[in-house]
Amino acid sequence: MDKEKELIVRKNRELSAILEVSRVLTASFDLEENLRAAMKILGSLLEMQRGCVFLLDPLSDELRIVAAHGLTKEEIKRGKYRIGEGIVGRVIKTGAPMFIPNIGEEPKFLNRTGSRPEKYGVSFLCIPIELKGEILGVISADRIYAEEHGSVDDDLRVLKIVTSLIAQFVKLWENYRKAEQERESLRSQLKERYSLPNIIGESEKFQSVLKAVMKVAGTDTTVLLLGESGTGKELIARTLHYQSHRAKGPYVAVNCAALPDNLLEVELFGVEKGAFTGATTSRTGRFELAGRGSIFLDEIGEIPLGLQAKLLRVLQERTFERVGSSRSIKADVRVISATNKNLLEEVKQGNFREDLYWRLNVVPIVLPSLRERKRDVPLLLNYYLDKFNKTYNKQVRISEDALSIFSEYSWPGNVRELANTVERLVIMTEKDVIAPEDLPFNLASADTRISMKGKSCFYEEHTLGHEVQNLERERIIRALMEHNYIQHRAARALGITPRQLGYRIKKYGIELQNLK
């Protein structure tokens, strides 16, 4: 009966050890701490001494101790083996567990750590850490056997289960570390990409923008970016984020004009399951997703009045609730917003809350249009030529005459229009040098066309009808850009119906995907 009780106690300890090892291995992604805790559990519950976890370095083909219980730091440092060297090396080579009844009588036991001054009477167990045929390392432990302390078979059985748990944890840790390294590499690339020296612009007005960005990037202050569509507001928003102390956090962008009013609140703040018909699951909002990072609210002027009060509370109290929930969520997020509207005028007309305007307008940064920074046109042109030449494996250049036309054009769509124009030219041209006759007709002003007449057939035989159509096409493109390519809003601004706008888009061959 006593033996039966001892067996039950032993089995309970084994089960407890397995459960505890499983618990500590899922506590975090701290490799050494979790494995050290697992070895400590084997010692306290199963009386296994000097438990070690060896992992294989695939580059050096060397096994080293990454975690141990009952060894000093110096002993751990000495625990290194080549494949096939000693008992540990043989187990990694063969993939089979080994049991040494008495290490004092085993010449292949090297005691590399020097942690066993008295070797006689000590047994040694060594089990491979294997997952799907891949051997990742081994675990080892010393044991002094007595009849009441269980059998070798019991220990090997438990250790095989433990090594299976460790193998899964090590593989998860490797994947986690790889993902972290890739994320860190991406963060570094983004930080470099959105660094001030890499932003193109030498004109005085644009340099003033960059100076303002440099001053506020390192703070958490709320920034309002103002300017026409296509001037680079999102580029500046990303720069503010990636040059701040929040760069390791997420950057979340929301186009407030692209969503229907009834969905915008859910998109920004999330929703609880059952909050309304159709809310079959809970959903995390953009403010939650941007936690410890930055949120960019583009086209902030399009937010409906009813939702403006909730946004104001986020800015004032730094808390919000999901739709259908009363639980407050902390908003640890930097808010950057942008608009191409005159918000003060919107306030006067009753379309925008004055208190929200002042909360958003802590640091306003006005981005100049491209026609206000014509000095930068050649720089931007060369940048996009180089970019799209690489993308499409071409070597297209631009002539001096064509460059003059680029510099004189008013660019109603700003930098976005310039980039799209260059990409279209690189794709469509079959020549190495872009000449004036290769340019879209709308690029040249009337004066430029007259001065260029005789140099190119491109400017000849264009009637007044062509001029009118070109102006109408240009106005439609500008309206589409100003309203984020939402056709019913662009049509309203133009004073025509969406159907009429659709007809003109088709008539003039305006390709929306090339404008975005």
Q: What are the chain's domains?
A: 2-177 (3.30.450.40), 194-368 (3.40.50.300), 371-461 (1.10.8.60), 463-516 (1.10.10.60)
Whether pLDDT at 149 is above 80: no
The SS3 assignment for 382 reads helix
Report the side by side order of strands in the sheet with 251-255: 251-255, 294-298, 334-339, 223-226, 363-366
Q: Where are the alpha helices (DSSP H) in 194-304?
A: 204-216, 233-242, 261-269, 286-289
Largest Cα span, the chain: 114
Average pLDDT over residues 147-156: 73
Whether pLDDT at 437 is above 80: yes
Structure token pair of residue 104: 């004092």
Burial of 291 (0-12, 13-18, 19+ CB in 10 A): middle
Whether pLDDT at 378 is above 80: yes
Structure token pair of residue 200: 């193109």
Residue 353, C-beta contacts closer than 8 angstroms, at least 6 positions apart? 305, 308, 309, 312, 347
pLDDT at 292: 95
pLDDT at 494: 84
Report the side by side order of strands in the sheet with 62-68: 80-82, 62-68, 49-57, 134-143, 123-131, 98-100
pLDDT at 457: 39
Percent of the chain at pLDDT > 70 equals: 91
Whether pLDDT at 250 is above 90: yes
Task: Give the pLDDT confidence of 209-226 residue by residue, as tens digits.
Answer: 999 999 999 999 999 999
pLDDT at 430: 87
Structure token pair of residue 504: 């003109």
Residue listed under structure tokens 């590399």: 112
> Cα(322)–Cα(330) distance, rounded to whole angstroms?
11
Mean pLDDT: which of 102-106, 417-421, 469-473 is highest?
A: 417-421
pLDDT at 261: 82
Structure token pair of residue 205: 């007005």
Question: Is residue 422 within 8 Å of 457, Cβ to Cβ?
Answer: no
Residue listed under structure tokens 């701490």: 33
* Average pLDDT of the residues of the chain: 87
pLDDT at 233: 95
Whether pLDDT at 462 is above 50: no
Compute the half-sphere exposure of residue 184: CA atoms within 13 Å on the CB side of its CA. Answer: 6
Number of H helices, E strands in the chain: 20, 15
Mean pLDDT: which of 40-54, 134-148, 263-277 is highest?
A: 40-54
Task: Give the pLDDT confidence of 228-249 residue by residue, as tens digits.
Answer: 999 999 999 999 999 999 999 9
Q: What is the C-alpha end-to-end distance of the chain, expressed in Å?
A: 82
pLDDT band (50, 70, 90) for residue 515: low
Question: Is residue 397 within 8 Å of 426, Cβ to Cβ?
Answer: no
Whether pLDDT at 454 is above 50: no
